[in-house]
Every structure is written in structure tokens, then in C-alpha cells.
């Protein structure tokens, strides 16, 4: 739903506007506004309908009205002869187009606001059901369509959620909570801090059986990595859920993904950070991935999120869940919430650099002008870059920048002892990151940079497996 305009349409007189000057002037001239039922006379014919909002990116020469048949059409301003409002009491429809926005900047610290502290002793539904906190961060999963405009709004209360997904009430009591609302490409490390603070608070002070985070899929794997480092030794499962088709569509995968996450929380005994999305194109099996070993590998398919080098941690079928426990660092659910290691700060002075044939090594010189402390170098194959880069890399390392190597191959591990190039890079001080994905590596580096006191400690953290981001064995997967 990315093409939705961002302006607030309930208030077409405000500075932020959807109709830009020309069409706006026209509407003002005829004293009508968005949502009004009107009769519009053009030199092509007469139309009756409701004036609809116009998206910002569209050109300014048309007025959009929704005819009684439900169809929208655009009428050229040049053809409009007259517009009259049908002054009936209920005809002005509140047309809202936007998700609730948080425009206030936040400092990355979770601030407990009134009403957020869930009194979960008062059960929402049956007290015997597991209790799940649903944090919404802006994905499409907890939104609903505005039929008239096609816009989506966030769902902010449980009853809305149950009314859309009634089956959920058979499995759990859901406590939805709005945290922030951003397309996931707009997130900063400060959002990760905010989210992890909120989860940390819930784990320590609220007795939930699990937490679901609805999240845009574009960067869901960055956030899941961030949570995996910021929140270690979790006593309950925290599952990030996204959807590739927004929940305003009958074919949305939001519900099956959400239900998969709920089943995983209520029917298995594992704790930690996970991501639940479709396993295939079918609405049948939901894959539950480890937070640090997952990547978005397709722009639009339902099964875009895939586990890297390992099987998904769990496959959730209709009435059965099959878990794959070959990874070592998976905790089981426990009551010892105080063991939680919560380090929620990130330092974003980390750069991800992708090498490619034709890359100009002198570009590396520009890093001396920036604040970056760490470079994740995404090399070719086993971890290589052109030998002409060597003197520049050496200079950067000498200047104190730490350079880690990951591979631009999506699968497999970096092994820099196989060819001269790799060995030379090792000699220069480039540090290989084994089978850690570039995306996980950059998140981990931001976290490690913030949570270490010197370079040595930073490197040690990066090379130590904390949350399954590094593994010793790669299973043979066909």
C-alpha cells in the first residue's frame, strides 16, 4: 500500500493537502470539499458522486469522483462547468486516507505512556487462553481498508482485530498496541531501540505468553537481527510477522502469517526472536525463521522471507508444527525473565559496501571524510575484492576503521584462506564473518559498536556466535 498519500485528508483546508493548487482552487470556488456528495456538470455530461481525495503524485488537472456504481473517474478541470453540493445531512462522508502517523521524533528510548501498561490480569476474553502482546510498527498486517478511498488505517484495538480475524479468538487473547507506524524502509536504529525497550519492558513487567510484532517486510530481517542481539536470553517467544499482500485484500497473507505466529507461540515451547511468513506460495504452511538467519529474497512473493543456509526453524501446518532444532542457541520457554540481557543501543557508524567488477578503489578514500567506524565489505564469492583495492583498504585499517568481510553470495560462508586474494586480505587485517549474512552483519556491527569499549572487544563480539548468526556446520539442503 505504498502509494497511499501521506496527507491528512479529513482536513483539506490545512497546509498539507492532497489536491494541489489548481484543483484545490476549483473545489474552493464551488465551495465543496473531499467527501461531499456532489453533482458535477462537465461539457461531456453530468455525474453524481462523492469527491475523492487525489494522491499527491498524480497530476493536478483532474477532480476524482466516486460514482454511485462505485467506480472512480477523473474529470478534467478544463471540462468542468459546475459543481454543486448535494446538501443532505449524511452525504458528507468522512474520507480518511491515512494510517495514523507519529510525526513526533523519538529519541530511541521507550517511554511508558499512560494506558500502555496492560493490566493483563483483567482478561480480555477467556482467561484460560494464552496472552499475546501485538505490537504494530507499521506493516500491513494490522490495518484495514477504507473502501471509499482504498487507503488503510491501523487497527488499534483488539475487537477490531477479532472482527476481521474471528478465528484468532480460539487461540489466544490478543493485546494490540500501537508502537509506531512507518514503512519499514523508513526505520532507523533508534526504532530498533524503541522496539527492544518495549519488548524488554513487557518481558520483565507484564506476563505475556508471547509477543508478536507486525512489521513491514522490506526490512523485517534487519529488525529481527537487531532484536536478536539487543534482547538475549528471552524467556518467551517474540515473533515478527509481515505480509506481502496487505490485509485490505481478500487474498492477504496477513491472517495466515499471524495465525502461524500465534500457533507457534501457543503450541511450542521455544523462546527467542523469530520471523513468521509463508513457506510457499500456498496459504498452507507457515515457516518460522530464526531472527538472524532470514532474508527477504523476493520483491513480491508471499514466501519472500527465506532461511539462509539452514532449514526454517519450524514449519507450521494446519494442525501440526514440526521444529528443526539443529541450531544450538535456541532457548526453551521459562519463567526466569530476569535472565534477560537487554542492551538496546545501536551505533549507526557502520557502512555496508558492495564490491563489483569495475569498482573504483579510489572511492575508498572518501571514508576519511566520514564518521564511519566499521565497514562491512560485501565481497565476491568466498570473500574477495580486486587487488587494486588493497592499498586503500590498508590505509583505512591503519586509520582505525574495522573492516569485516561478508559474501554477496546469498548462501554459503566466507573462506579467505582458499585463494591468494583472500589470504592477502586477511594479511591486511580484513576480518571474515563466516556465514553471517551482510544484513545481519551490519546490524550486529551497529550493536557491537555501541556495546563494546574498544576495537578488540568489538571484533571479538563480531566473531562470537550470540544468536545463531554464525554457525559451524551448513546442512546439505536441496
Partner 1 sequence: MILMKFDFDSLKVKVGFEIHQQLDTKNKLFCNCKCEEANGSYDNNFIRILRPTKSELGNFDRAAIFEHTKMNTIKYYSKVGLSCLVEADEEPPHDVNRSALETVLLFSLALNSNIVDEIHVMRKLVIDGSNTSGFQRTMLVSTGGNLKVDGFRKIGVQSICLEEDAAKLLPHSKLYKEYGLDRLGIPLVEIALEPISGKPDEIVNVALTLGRLLRSSKRVSRGLGSIRQDVNISVNDGKVVEVKGVQQLSQLVKVLDYETKRQYGLIKIAEEFEKRNIDDGFIGDRIQDITYLFKDSSSTILKKILKDANSILLSIRLRGLNGLIGYEPINGIRLGKELGEFVRFFGLGGIFHSDELPKYGVTVKDVENIKELLGLSNSDAFLIIGGNEKKINIVLEPLIRRIREFKHGVVAETRSATMDGSTIFSRPRAGSSRMYPETDILPIPVESVLLDDLKQKIPLSWNDLIRQIMKKYELNIKLSEHIFDSQYYDIFEKIVSTSKNITPTFIASKLTEDVVSLSRNNLDKSLLTDDILIEVFDNLEKGFIAKESVTLIFEKIMKKESKSVKEAINSLNLIKINDDELHKILDKILNDNAHVIKEKGINSIGALMGKSMIMLRGKVDGYKINEYLKQKIERFINDEFFK
Distance from chain centroid for Cα 427:
38
* Residue 59 burial (CB count, 10 A): 10
Nearer of residues 144 and 395 to partner 1, judged by Cβ: 144
Q: Which residues pair with 378 in a beta bridge?
A: 354, 406
420 is catalytic: no
CB–CB of 240/142 below 8 Å?
no
Nearer of residues 163 and 473 to partner 1, judged by Cβ: 163
User: Minimum CB separation from partner 1 for residue 169, in Å?
Assistant: 15
Which position among 24, 33, 263, 296 bears the catalytic label?
296
Q: State the number of binding residues for partner 1 (CB under 8 A).
A: 54
Nearer of residues 206 and 283 to partner 1, judged by Cβ: 283
Nearer of residues 66 and 131 to partner 1, judged by Cβ: 66
Which position among 18, 36, 218, 248 bears the catalytic label?
218
Nearer of residues 59 and 464 to partner 1, judged by Cβ: 59
86 exposed, middle or buried (CB, 10 Å; 0-12, 13-18, 19+)?
middle
* Cα gap 206→81, rounded to integer Å: 62
36 is catalytic: no
Nearer of residues 7 and 377 to partner 1, judged by Cβ: 7
Which position among 153, 217, 285, 406 bears the catalytic label?
217
User: Minimum CB separation from partner 1 for residue 250, in Å?
Assistant: 2
CB–CB of 10/96 below 8 Å?
yes
User: Minimum CB separation from partner 1 for residue 37, in Å?
Assistant: 13
In the region spanning residues 87 to 146, those forming contacts with partner 1, defined by CB under 8 A, are 96, 144-146
In the region spanning residues 192 to 251, those forming contacts with partner 1, defined by CB under 8 A, are 244-245, 247-251
296 is catalytic: yes
* Cα gap 96→35, rounded to integer Å: 9
218 is catalytic: yes
* Cα gap 332→271, rounded to integer Å: 5
Looking at 82, 157, 163, 325, which residue binds partner 1 (CB under 8 A)?
163
In the region spanning residues 262 to 321, those forming contacts with partner 1, defined by CB under 8 A, are 280-284, 299-302
Which position among 136, 140, 153, 268 bears the catalytic label?
140
Q: Which residues sit at the interface with partner 1, rule CB under 8 A?
A: 1, 3-4, 42, 44-45, 47, 57-59, 61-62, 64, 66-76, 79, 96, 144-150, 163-164, 244-245, 247-252, 255-256, 280-284, 299-302
> Catalytic positions, please?
140, 217-218, 296
Amino acid at each position: 500500500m505504498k502509494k497511499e498519500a501521506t496527507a491528512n485528508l479529513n482536513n483539506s483546508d490545512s497546509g498539507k493537502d492532497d489536491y494541489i493548487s489548481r484543483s484545490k482552487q476549483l473545489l474552493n470556488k464551488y465551495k465543496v470539499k473531499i467527501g461531499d456528495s456532489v453533482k458535477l456538470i462537465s461539457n461531456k455530461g453530468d455525474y453524481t458522486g462523492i469527491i475523492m481525495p487525489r494522491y499527491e503524485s498524480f497530476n493536478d488537472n483532474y477532480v476524482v469522483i466516486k460514482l454511485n456504481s462505485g467506480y472512480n473517474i477523473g474529470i478534467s478541470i478544463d471540462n468542468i462547468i459546475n459543481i454543486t453540493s448535494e446538501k443532505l445531512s449524511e452525504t458528507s462522508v468522512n474520507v480518511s486516507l491515512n494510517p495514523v502517523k507519529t510525526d513526533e521524533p523519538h529519541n530511541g528510548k521507550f517511554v511508558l505512556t499512560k494506558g500502555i501498561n496492560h493490566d493483563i490480569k483483567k482478561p480480555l476474553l477467556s482467561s484460560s487462553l494464552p496472552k499475546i502482546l501485538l505490537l504494530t510498527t507499521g506493516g500491513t498486517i494490522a490495518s484495514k481498508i477504507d473502501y471509499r478511498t482504498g487507503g488503510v488505517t491501523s487497527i488499534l484495538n483488539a475487537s477490531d482485530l477479532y472482527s476481521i480475524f474471528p478465528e484468532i479468538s480460539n487461540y489466544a487473547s490478543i493485546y494490540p498496541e500501537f508502537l509506531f507506524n512507518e514503512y519499514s524502509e523508513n526505520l532507523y536504529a533508534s526504532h530498533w531501540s524503541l522496539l527492544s525497550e518495549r519488548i524488554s519492558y513487557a518481558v520483565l513487567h507484564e506476563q505475556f505468553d508471547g509477543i508478536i510484532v507486525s512489521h513491514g517486510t522490506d526490512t523485517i530481517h534487519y529488525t529481527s537481527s537487531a532484536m536478536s542481539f539487543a534482547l538475549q536470553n528471552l524467556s518467551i517467544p517474540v515473533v515478527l510477522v509481515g505480509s506481502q499482500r496487505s490485509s485490505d485484500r481478500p487474498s492477504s497473507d496477513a491472517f495466515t502469517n499471524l495465525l502461524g505466529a500465534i500457533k507457534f507461540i501457543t503450541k511450542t515451547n521455544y523462546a527467542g526472536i523469530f520471523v513468521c511468513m509463508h513457506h510457499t506460495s500456498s496459504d498452507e504452511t507457515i515457516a518460522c525463521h530464526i531472527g538472524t538467519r532470514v532474508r527477504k529474497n523476493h520483491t513480491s512473493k508471499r514466501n519472500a522471507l527465506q532461511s539462509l543456509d539452514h532449514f526454517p526453524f519450524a514449519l507450521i501446518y494446519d494442525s501440526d508444527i514440526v521444529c528443526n532444532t539443529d541450531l544450538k542457541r535456541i532457548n526453551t520457554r521459562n519463567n526466569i525473565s530476569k535472565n534477560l540481557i537487554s542492551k538496546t543501543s545501536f551505533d549507526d557508524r557502520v557502512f555496508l559496501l558492495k564490491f563489483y567488477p569495475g569498482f573504483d578503489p579510489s572511492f575508498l578514500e572518501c571514508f576519511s571524510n566520514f564518521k564511519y567506524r566499521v565497514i562491512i565489505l560485501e565481497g565476491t564469492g568466498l570473500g574477495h575484492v580486486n587487488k587494486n583495492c588493497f592499498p586503500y583498504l590498508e590505509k583505512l585499517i591503519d586509520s582505525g576503521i574495522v573492516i569485516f568481510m561478508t559474501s554477496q553470495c546469498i548462501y554459503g560462508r566466507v573462506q579467505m584462506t582458499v585463494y591468494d586474494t583472500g589470504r592477502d586480505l586477511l594479511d591486511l587485517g580484513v576480518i571474515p564473518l563466516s556465514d553471517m549474512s551482510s544484513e545481519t552483519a551490519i546490524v550486529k556491527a551497529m550493536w557491537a559498536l555501541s556495546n563494546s569499549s574498544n576495537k578488540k572487544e568489538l571484533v571479538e563480539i563480531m566473531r562470537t556466535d550470540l544468536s545463531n548468526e554464525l554457525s559451524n556446520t551448513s546442512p546439505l539442503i536441496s
